[in-house]
Amino acid sequence: MTPFSLAETWRLNNRANLMLLDSLSPDQLNHTPFPRARSIADQFAHLHNVRIMWLEVQMPEAAKSLHKIEKGTGTKASLRKALEASADAFANMLTAAEKTGKLRSAKRGIYPFFAYAIAHEAHHRGQIIAHLKHARTPVDRALGFALWEWEKL
């Protein structure tokens, strides 16, 4: 079996994000857990915006075609489209990094940076799920398990 590349693994991560996004109702997407917090939609926008932030450092030319999502403006459709585009650009960045073995501003190398990026996104998926559970509008139980079945994503 051929090992997955970093880019392919990143795409699995993004499919988990999109699976979660696609499952949410408008009320869930608009939920804000407490004053001054990000809404659930804004959490997804944050993922996209952080990807752009890293692309601006690593591959500025790739970041130019992407646009940040301002707080309170993301719809399910616009978030999906943005996450797909930034995931593709990020995957291309990872492919280039695997070839050269380098990323700007990644002092410890590409693998710790990749682990950071995956951990950051998983952290926010967890926050989203926890906030919705606390709001008594939890994600579907089957989805909760499916998000961990990366062999099927």
Q: What percent of the chain has pLDDT over 90?
A: 84
Question: What is the extent of the structural domain holding 87?
Answer: 6-16+39-146
**Has residue 150 got a pLDDT over 90?**
no
Contact 12, 150 (CB under 8 A): yes
Check residue 120 and give its pLDDT. 98
Separation in Å, CA 115 to CA 87, 94, 101, 153: 15, 12, 15, 19
Check residue 2 and give its pLDDT. 62
33: in domain: no
29: in domain: no
Distance CA 95, CA 89 (A): 10
Torsion angle, alpha carbons of 68, 51, 83, 18, to 10? -140
Provide the pLDDT confidence category of residue 105 given band limits of 50, 70 and 90. confident
- Among the listed residues 84, 105, 108, 102, the one whose alpha carbon sits nearest the alpha carbon of residue 10: 84
Distance CA 12, CA 152 (A): 9
- Among the listed residues 65, 64, 86, the one whose alpha carbon sits nearest the alpha carbon of residue 11: 86
Provide the pLDDT confidence category of residue 133 given band limits of 50, 70 and 90. very high
152: in domain: no
Our count of domains for the chain comes to 1
59: in domain: yes
Q: What percent of the chain has pLDDT over 70?
A: 99
Please write the tens of the pLDDT for every residue from 30-80: 999 888 899 999 999 999 999 999 999 999 999 999 999 999 999 999 999
3-class DSSP state of 93: helix
31: in domain: no
Provide the pLDDT confidence category of residue 1 given band limits of 50, 70 and 90. low
